[in-house]
Amino acid sequence: MEKKSSAELCIEFCSITNSDFSLAERTLRKHEWNLEASLDEFFSTSDATPANIAVLSGSPPRKRPRAPCESAVPVIDLSPDAPSTSTAGISANGGVGGSTVGLTAMPLDLANGKERPDVFRIVSWNVDGLDDESLMARTCGVISEIQLKKPDVVFLQEIVDTNLAILQSQLGTAYLLRTGGSEGYFTATLLSRETMQLEDDNIVPFPNTRMGRNLLIVNALFDGIPLCLINSHLESTKDAAEERKHQLADAFVRMREAPVERTVIFGGDLNLRDSELRAIGGIPSRIVDLYTVTGSRKECENTWDTQRNVNAMQKVGRSVKKIICRFDRLYFRPSETRCALLPLHFNLVGLRKAPSSQKFPSDHWGILVTFDRIFPS
């Protein structure tokens, strides 16, 4: 029987315990990547619940500074990272034993004397370019959020010529921008010029879309870590459920078929209902929902909320009852050769109204996921 990689063991631990990746990694490493022993420890603790995962890990709170958070969505750090002195670790080839990999302080890149990044951040956000009302002010609100959070990668949906021009003007020096089209509205993926290196990009149209939808696939390096970044805006409206399910299944296939050495992140405005996900058999093996594995905090669950977001309320009308949905999602497939990124935080962005406007930057909240960077010892 083929030995499972450390990443696969982390995923299996999370799926069984409903805990987060960082706790999985710490517990498995403590038991030298023995899944059965790790599960025994987890379930032998009577209060082993997601609410107190941080307590179970037995380490002091992490001291690393984090990006500022929205006051309405406080960060709850579920993953302490006190350095481990155990000789057990994640091997360089993703397995157990041999040359170990541990969480360390930010090492210097000896080639240029700079500190290497210790976290990886990705934002995904439908920025509602189809709504002309206050579009320039709202786009400035989007830009402000990106400049504040400083993500390494940004997935945007509903880009049009107007907000594209503003984004290029204000973010062009800091980010390399690739688009998933040029007519009507489309997606865009932004790569930090400081931390990311573009390898190639490709647009894969959905064959039966009636709305011009596709997959924007970007292969890039983050501090030498090969990533496959898949940005999409799946078919909209409840009536398009069948086509949307086909599109989601197609995206999952591409995640699973990506080269094993690449860490894969797919997401965007998926317009997804949980029943549609169940209808295609759920999330495939080795792929995880980043909202789930980072703790499933209820205050971060829904990205379309007609009660909290006045932009969304105006779209449906005040007479309509409250509608809340988790349309925007990110899925993660770790590399099979080495576990270099571990999901840590899931947060919402865009909760402040745009400058000089009574509108939020979009009718969707954006999502921000932070990963821990694992450095070779």
Q: E strand or H helix at 11, and its extent?
A: helix 6-17
Given a contact cutoff of 8 angstroms between Cβ atoms, the answer to whether 332 and 265 are in contact is yes
Enter the tokens of residue 365. 């909240």
H helix intervals, 258-348: 274-279, 290-293, 310-316
Taking the mean position of all CA atoms in its chain, how far away is CA 101? 23
Q: Which candidate in 20, 152, 201, 269 is catalytic? A: 269
Q: What is the 3-state secondary structure of 196-261?
A: EEEEEEEEEECCCCCCCCEEEEEEEEECCEEEEEEEEECCCCHHHHHHHHHHHHHHHHHHHHCCCC
Q: What is the DSSP string of 72-132?
A: TS--------PPP--S--EETTSSBSSSEEE--S--EETTTTEEPPSEEEEEEEE--TT--
DSSP helix/strand/coil, 272: coil
Given a contact cutoff of 8 angstroms between Cβ atoms, the answer to whether 116 and 108 are in contact is yes
Pairing of strands 263-269, 175-179: unpaired
Distance, CA of 154 to CA of 306 (rounded, Å):
24
Q: DSSP state, 100?
A: E
Enter the tokens of residue 285. 């093996």
Residue 269 appears among annotated catalytic residues: yes
Write out the catalytic residue numbers: 269
